[in-house]
């Protein structure tokens, strides 16, 4: 296994670096310390052919102006908070309304737009990068100084493991995730509608027109949202207004690692399986991609050029006490893990 580090530019006097992790199977992951972005993920297909299976840009400038969260870390709170408003311990907090009237993915300058401290590491499991960031009290309107560490580790089992850790000095809310867009045919090789998907969830969080949960957990059975058995992503997508952008309530007991989803691409034979400690997962079918973005190989990303499987707590959880809590208190450790495992069939 191998890890290398090269300069990736400079932002406001802060040095940026790109880290390359490589295992014995020619699986390679590239990560930069701006936004915790996975810029490249090279995976072999069933014939051994290597393709980059995540969407991304060629140049730093494009990442600096990106509006689609391509490959980024998301925080302090992933997904939406209704009207950017919540109450914690009797005190009201107002966050940015950067998604219509709602708050999305941490605000105007979320974790996807900051420079992280970065150190490479290796251990008996594999090679990796540890990113650290202190989000100060009041940053983007959130309370508490939040110290966050995110560790990316690649092993020889073709697993990319992401560990999220955080502590705070005041009660706050937190919901970290990662926003890679996957295409198991290879980025720039068309849409993902023929990918076959299985999601380990019998229910989803029903939402209103602004994609804010109503509080109801509805069954997926007999709806186009049912991926409890293998289904092509595109088979019923036209029955979903705008395409898939839904939080699934994972079938789980306790807080141990649980199967969230599996995706397979028939032509390449690539399979990606996702396990997580999180209670939910947002499945997004790349509905907003409209051909305006030019990818790293010079190909424009049209609608459904990639899909996201964002493991997470539920959207708008601070305003739904019946949902799993996203409150972090002083003395507590926020800890979540998600594993992306690549195989072939």
pLDDT given at position 253: 86
Secondary structure tally for the chain: helices H, strands E? 1, 29
Secondary element (H or E) of residue 118:
strand 117-122
The CATH number of the domain holding residue 185 is 2.70.98.10
CA atoms within 13 A on the CB side of 76: 30
Of the candidates 179, 304, 313, 320, the residue annotated as catalytic is 179
pTM: 0.97
Phi, psi (degrees; rounded to nearest 5) at 159: -110, 130
Beta bridge mates, 337: 163
Gap between the Cα atoms of 235 and 267, Å rounded: 17
Q: How far is CA 158 from CA 21, 126, 307, in A?
A: 11, 10, 20
Assigned token pair, 306: 């990639």
Q: How far apart are CA 55 and CA 305, in angstroms?
A: 8
Q: Which residue has the tokens 């069933």?
A: 46
**How many other C-beta atoms lie within 10 A of the C-beta of residue 308?**
23
- For the chain, how many structural domains are there in total? 1
Give the CA count within 13 Å in the CB-facing half-sphere of 228.
13
Kindly write down the DSSP assignment for every residue of 272-314, as one continuous string.
Answer: EEEEESSSEEEEE--TT--S-EE-TTS-EE-TTS-BEEEEESP
Distance set, CA 313 to CA 1, 6, 239, 276, 328 (Å)? 33, 34, 26, 11, 13
**112: helix, strand or coil:** helix
Q: Is 179 a catalytic residue?
A: yes
> Interior CA angle at 12 toward 6 and 13, to 5°?
60
What range does the domain containing 204 cover?
A: 2-344
310 a catalytic residue: yes
Q: How many CB atoms lie within 10 A of CB 87?
A: 10
Q: What CA–CA distance (Å, rounded) separates 240 from 250?
A: 20
Q: Of 172, 182, 179, whose CA–CA distance to 150 is shortest?
A: 179
Among the listed residues 159, 196, 265, 310, the single catalytic one is: 310
Ranges of residues in the chain with a pLDDT under 50 are none
Q: What's residue 255's pLDDT?
A: 84
What pLDDT was estimated at residue 254?
84
Q: Give the pLDDT score at 285.
A: 98
> How many other C-beta atoms lie within 10 A of the C-beta of residue 3?
17
- pLDDT score of 314: 98
């Amino acid at each position: 296994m191998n890890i290398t580090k090269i300069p990736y530019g400079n932002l406001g006097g802060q040095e940026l670096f790109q880290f390359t992790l490589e295992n014995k199977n020619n699986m390679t992951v590239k990560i930069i310390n701006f936004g915790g972005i996975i810029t490249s993920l090279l995976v072999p297909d069933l014939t051994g052919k290597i393709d980059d299976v995540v969407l991304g840009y060629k140049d730093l400038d494009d990442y600096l102006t990106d509006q689609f969260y391509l490959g980024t870390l998301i925080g302090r709170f992933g997904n939406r908070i209704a009207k950017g408003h919540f109450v914690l311990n009797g005190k009201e907090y107002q966050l940015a309304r950067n998604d219509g009237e709602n708050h999305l993915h941490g605000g105007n300058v979320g974790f996807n737009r900051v420079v992280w401290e970065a150190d490479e590491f290796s251990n008996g499991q594999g090679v990796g990068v540890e990113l650290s960031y202190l989000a100060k009290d009041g940053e983007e309107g959130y309370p508490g100084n939040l110290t966050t560490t995110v560790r990316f580790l690649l092993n020889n089992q073709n697993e990319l493991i992401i560990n999220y850790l955080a502590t705070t000095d005041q009660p706050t809310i937190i919901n970290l995730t990662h926003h890679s867009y996957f295409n198991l045919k290879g980025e720039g090789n068309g849409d993902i509608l023929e990918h076959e998907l299985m999601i380990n969830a019998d229910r989803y969080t029903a939402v209103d027109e602004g994609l804010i949960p109503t509080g109801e957990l509805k069954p997926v059975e007999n709806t186009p949202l049912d991926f409890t058995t293998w289904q092509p992503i595109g088979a019923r997508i036209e029955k979903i207004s705008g395409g898939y952008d839904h939080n699934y309530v994972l079938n789980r007991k306790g807080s141990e690692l649980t199967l969230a989803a599996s995706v397979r691409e028939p032509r390449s034979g690539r399979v990606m399986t996702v396990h997580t400690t999180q209670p939910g997962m947002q499945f997004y079918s790349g509905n907003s991609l409209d051909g305006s973005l030019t990818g790293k190989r010079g190909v424009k990303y049209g609608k459904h050029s990639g899909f996201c499987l964002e493991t997470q707590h539920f959207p708008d959880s601070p305003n739904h006490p019946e949902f799993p809590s996203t409150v972090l208190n002083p003395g507590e450790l926020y800890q979540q893990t998600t594993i992306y495992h690549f195989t072939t069939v």
